[in-house]
Chain A
């Protein structure tokens, strides 16, 4: 079981709720993939205004809700949205997303730090959506966040893990913190890769909602995320730059041994030539 802020979850797959062909397909995708945490935006879902039909549909799902501040461009907007989310969804969890660039929706690191500080002081559990910058992560951790949500690549780009080095650095630097990859994942194999690196969870939306068959894609992600996690827990072998036979040479028929010996001795001869 995955312990996330004192709550236990079987699934490490978090799903977004926008852009599906219909609410029915969204529901089926969540159920088929056994996702237990879904995220939704408040600003345009209308929960703040009269209509809450979409929210009523979501409420029927057996999931925990992680409201987000998608579409906010300033600290003030994001804080106000977080306040509304706390009332509407009855949770102190908030995925803090403050956009710094309109084209690639890159989060604004400076506003993120400022907004996180305010919301933590107000008792929120902040899930900061961030780039993979180490110094930014340190500042957020210093403020007291218990989760970091670095991007794999820009939202909806499907470019996968564009900077594995940076993601590995975050994992190594914060071994005890919950690290969730948020955004940019396009393929199930990329989600598996993030999990193999020791990430605690993966959040995505577009790769599922824009698939030809979203329910099937949700299931595919669910399975590879499980697989990736198991791989991490089992302990991956270290890469080597040379081949090692998995079958020991001892016990192979003698004519094979002879061939091997010939190869080795010719290699040695070549090496002798170079060294002499």
Chain B
């Protein structure tokens, strides 16, 4: 296998994943990102999309709205996450305990809808219907309000912030160079131009997300709002989705008794702070899981816009003349799908090095 030099622009979840897997394959990696390497809350910058994300690894529950391809990419990403988790420091919070889906009695048809979608794809085997007694042993703090639930054993979740920290500690030192807080002026095949100079690579990999919009005009931003809370004396250890006809809200456990409540999906590239309506929706859903959550403390409210193409599926785009690959449109499935996407990208890059003329815009999903 040829050892290549890669210039990765954008160190969000996709950029991180490409670099991490590329280093394992012996490639040389350099990072460019206009964000600081670590956020300590003092910077006057919006927290990037990949750090606002919930970090759910739920290939099956996402089928409620997503295409089957997302589910396949997600399923194949899970073992890669396990491998990454072994390689990274112990402080990286990765859990594979499964996920729970519940609804209040008056909304039980919403759970039926999810089951209907899973049946459409012959995936009835991916979940168990668990009665109150089992829910009692799994998630005792949920069983007070819910008599039954769906349990998806092969799902997991990560904490994006702890992944970012572990990445900075373990992966960045292995890179040839890293250029954080550096504005990238221009991306061309083989070349990256920043305010500080020019850099050449065998491949430039554009993972900038919504910032690529000026180069990929079919990309759009979809607003999402999340709230982070901390609760004492009550515990949920798996991601919980509360099905409701108007909003599908999930609660994802995080380290230190904290939880991320997410996320709205609003068709707008609006970065303004969380609206009162969304905050009410998110917090009421959270409170309705167990009224003891009323004493939880609100730590943060965040907003970001996820990059999406019109079919809400990701794309890997190879430049016809070679030297430039763009990967984008991960929408609300960044953590779910990025490991497998990175693997596909690197495999195809390897296939095509020296023979770059054959690819333009491809999805490469045929193998899945």
Q: Show the binding face of A for B, using Cβ within 8 Å.
A: 21-25, 27, 44-47, 49-54, 56-57, 156, 210, 212
- In the complex, which of the residues A24, A46, A47, A210 contacts B311, with contact meaning CB atoms closer than 8 Å? A24
Which A residues touch B66, using CB under 8 A?
A: 21
- In the complex, which of the residues B116, B245, B270 contacts A156, with contact meaning CB atoms closer than 8 Å? B245
Residue contact B67 to A44, C-beta cutoff 8 Å: no
Residue of A nearest to B269 (CB): A51
Residue contact B271 to A23, C-beta cutoff 8 Å: no
Which A residues touch B220, using CB under 8 A?
A: 23, 51, 53-54, 56-57
Closest 7 CB pairs of A and B: A46-B268, A51-B269, A53-B220, A54-B267, A22-B312, A24-B311, A51-B268
Q: Show the binding face of B for A, using Cβ within 8 Å.
A: 65-67, 113, 116-117, 120, 220-221, 223, 245-246, 266-272, 305, 308, 310-313
Which B residues touch A22, using CB under 8 A?
A: 67, 308, 310-313
- In the complex, which of the residues B221, B267, B308, B311 contacts A45, with contact meaning CB atoms closer than 8 Å? B267
Contact A51/B270 with A46-B223, A156-B245, A212-B120 known, Cβ cut-off 8 Å = yes
Residue of B nearest to A55 (CB): B267
Contact A51/B221 with A45-B268, A212-B116 known, Cβ cut-off 8 Å = yes
Which A residues touch B67, using CB under 8 A?
A: 21-22
- In the complex, which of the residues A21, A44, A212 contacts B312, with contact meaning CB atoms closer than 8 Å? A21
Residue contact A27 to B310, C-beta cutoff 8 Å: yes
Which B residues touch A156, using CB under 8 A?
A: 245-246
Residue contact B310 to A49, C-beta cutoff 8 Å: no
- In the complex, which of the residues B116, B268, B313 contacts A54, with contact meaning CB atoms closer than 8 Å? B268
Bound-complex Cα distance A50 to B213 (A): 15
Residue contact A51 to B305, C-beta cutoff 8 Å: yes
Smallest CB–CB gap between B145 and chain A, Å?
Answer: 18
Residue contact A53 to B269, C-beta cutoff 8 Å: yes
Residue contact B311 to A50, C-beta cutoff 8 Å: no
Which B residues touch A47, using CB under 8 A?
A: 268
Contact A212/B117 with A44-B266, A51-B221 known, Cβ cut-off 8 Å = yes
Residue of B nearest to A58 (CB): B267
User: Can you list 17 A-B contacts (CB < 8 A)?
Assistant: A21-B312, A22-B311, A22-B313, A23-B311, A24-B311, A24-B312, A44-B268, A45-B267, A45-B268, A46-B267, A46-B268, A49-B268, A50-B270, A50-B271, A51-B221, A53-B220, A57-B310
Residue of B nearest to A45 (CB): B267
Which B residues touch A23, using CB under 8 A?
A: 220, 267, 310-312
- In the complex, which of the residues B117, B272, B312 contacts A49, with contact meaning CB atoms closer than 8 Å? B272
Smallest CB–CB gap between A77 and chain B, Å?
Answer: 12
Smallest CB–CB gap between B108 and chain A, Å?
Answer: 14
Smallest CB–CB gap between A160 and chain B, Å?
Answer: 15
Smallest CB–CB gap between B112 and chain A, Å?
Answer: 11
Which A residues touch B312, using CB under 8 A?
A: 21-24
Bound-complex Cα distance A49 to B312 (A): 22
Which B residues touch A53, using CB under 8 A?
A: 220-221, 267-269
Smallest CB–CB gap between B100 and chain A, Å?
Answer: 22
Smallest CB–CB gap between A55 and chain B, Å?
Answer: 8
Bound-complex Cα distance A49 to B220 (A): 14
Residue contact B116 to A46, C-beta cutoff 8 Å: no
Residue contact A21 to B65, C-beta cutoff 8 Å: yes
Which A residues touch B305, using CB under 8 A?
A: 51
Bound-complex Cα distance A52 to B267 (A): 8
Which B residues touch A21, using CB under 8 A?
A: 65-67, 312
Bound-complex Cα distance A14 to B338 (A): 39
Which A residues touch B310, using CB under 8 A?
A: 22-24, 27, 57
Which A residues touch B272, using CB under 8 A?
A: 49
Smallest CB–CB gap between A32 and chain B, Å?
Answer: 15
Residue contact A210 to B113, C-beta cutoff 8 Å: yes
Bound-complex Cα distance A32 to B364 (A): 27
Contact A50/B65 with A22-B310, A24-B310, A57-B310 known, Cβ cut-off 8 Å = no
Bound-complex Cα distance A45 to B265 (A): 10
Residue of A nearest to B63 (CB): A21
Find the residue from A52, A54, A56 having the highest chain B CB count within 10 A.
A54
Residue of A nearest to B113 (CB): A210
Bound-complex Cα distance A45 to B221 (A): 12
Bound-complex Cα distance A24 to B66 (A): 12
Smallest CB–CB gap between B365 and chain A, Å?
Answer: 15
Bound-complex Cα distance A44 to B278 (A): 11
Bound-complex Cα distance A124 to B246 (A): 29
Bound-complex Cα distance A46 to B113 (A): 28
Bound-complex Cα distance A46 to B266 (A): 8
Bound-complex Cα distance A25 to B310 (A): 9
Which A residues touch B245, using CB under 8 A?
A: 156
Residue of B nearest to A41 (CB): B267
Residue contact A49 to B270, C-beta cutoff 8 Å: yes
Residue of A nearest to B245 (CB): A156
Which A residues touch B223, using CB under 8 A?
A: 46, 51
Bound-complex Cα distance A24 to B221 (A): 15
Bound-complex Cα distance A21 to B313 (A): 11
Smallest CB–CB gap between B267 and chain A, Å?
Answer: 4
Smallest CB–CB gap between A266 and chain B, Å?
Answer: 52
Which A residues touch B116, using CB under 8 A?
A: 212
Smallest CB–CB gap between A117 and chain B, Å?
Answer: 27
Residue of B nearest to A71 (CB): B277
